[in-house]
Amino acid sequence: MADAGPIAILTAIPEELSAVRRAIPAAAGVVMTATGDGPKRAASGAAVFLERHRPSAVIGAGLGGGLSPVLAVGEIVASRRVRFEVGDVANPDPGLLERALGAGARPATLITVHRPAVSTAAKSALAGGGSDDLLVVDMESAAWAREAAARGIPYVVLRAVSDTAEEALPAFLDAAVGTDGSIRRGEVARRALVEPSSWGTLLRMRRRLHDCSTALGAFLARMLAS
């Protein structure tokens, strides 16, 4: 790891960032931001932030969907491998990964997609059947990793599991993805109004966003203190 520069923590959305800030308030040598969700916004937001701060290390942090049936809601995983649906990105830093595992994370492969995996069938297709690794899906990890690697900055990504392989999400989340690759919250609300059956799942997702983000912040504080 480089000798100079802060540690940069990248989250996707404001709720994740707020939880991390509560757990690590005004920590010396740590800078953090919400890059935006989806691969496109994650890449552009990370690029601007990394150029501004020139960090010595990058830690990505956010929620993810479990693809492996053994992963339960709330578990924290750390990136042993990061890839898009097709093609790996540069390997995570072994030292940062070791610190994450030492703090209690489980090693996993993170798969970054351009649209949310909302059905159990979609999750099963992403998981495939040929890997013994724990698998988690998200929409930012590989974009963050690629921007860090392009600047020679060591990185690791942490994910808190917010939904399991057996849990489906509202199908309209896929249709709510905008042209910039992020999920448009206004569109989610509009579609939810005409699909009352989705309200229970959306409320559960909201609670888990809070609870899993809080757990992730606590984990980061523990990891950085180790």
- At residue 3, the pLDDT reads 53
Rg of the chain on CA atoms, in Å: 16
- At residue 186, the pLDDT reads 92
**Residue 110 lies inside a defined structural domain of this protein:** yes
- For the stretch 126-133, contacts whose Cβ atoms lie closer than 8 Å and that sit 24 or more positions apart, written own/partner, are 126/67, 126/85, 127/67, 127/68, 127/165, 133/68, 133/80, 133/81, 133/107, 133/108, 133/109
**Residue 180 lies inside a defined structural domain of this protein:** no
- At residue 130, the pLDDT reads 61
**Residue 123 lies inside a defined structural domain of this protein:** yes
Q: CA 225 → CA 26, 55, 165, 176, 220, distances in Å?
A: 14, 18, 32, 39, 8
**Residue 196 lies inside a defined structural domain of this protein:** no
**Residue 146 lies inside a defined structural domain of this protein:** yes
**Domain containing residue 115: CATH number:** 3.40.50.1580
Interhelix angle 199-225/94-102, rounded to 10 degrees, is: 110
**Residue 188 lies inside a defined structural domain of this protein:** no
**26: containing domain:** 7-167+211-225
**Residue 97 lies inside a defined structural domain of this protein:** yes
**Residue 176 lies inside a defined structural domain of this protein:** no
- At residue 82, the pLDDT reads 97
Segments in the chain below pLDDT 50: 1-2
Ramachandran category for residue 82: left, alpha or beta (phi over 0 → left; psi -120 to 50 → alpha): beta
- At residue 162, the pLDDT reads 97
Q: Supply the DSSP symbol for 74.
A: T
Rounded CA separation 51/43 (Å): 12
Please name which of 157, 183, 86 lies closest in space to residue 126, comparing C-alpha atoms: 86
Q: What is the pLDDT of residues 87-138, one digit of tens each?
A: 889 999 999 999 999 999 999 999 999 999 999 999 999 998 667 789 999 9
DSSP 5-70: SPEEEEESSHHHHHHHHHHSTT-TTEEEEE--SSHHHHHHHHHHHHHHH--SEEEEEEEEEE-STT
Q: Supply the DSSP symbol for 196.
A: G
pTM of the model: 0.93
Q: For the chain, give percent helix, strand, coil, nearest 5.
A: 40, 25, 35
Give me the number of domains the chain comprises.
Answer: 1
Sign of CA dihedral 216, 128, 112, 178: negative
* Residues in a beta bridge with 9: 32, 59
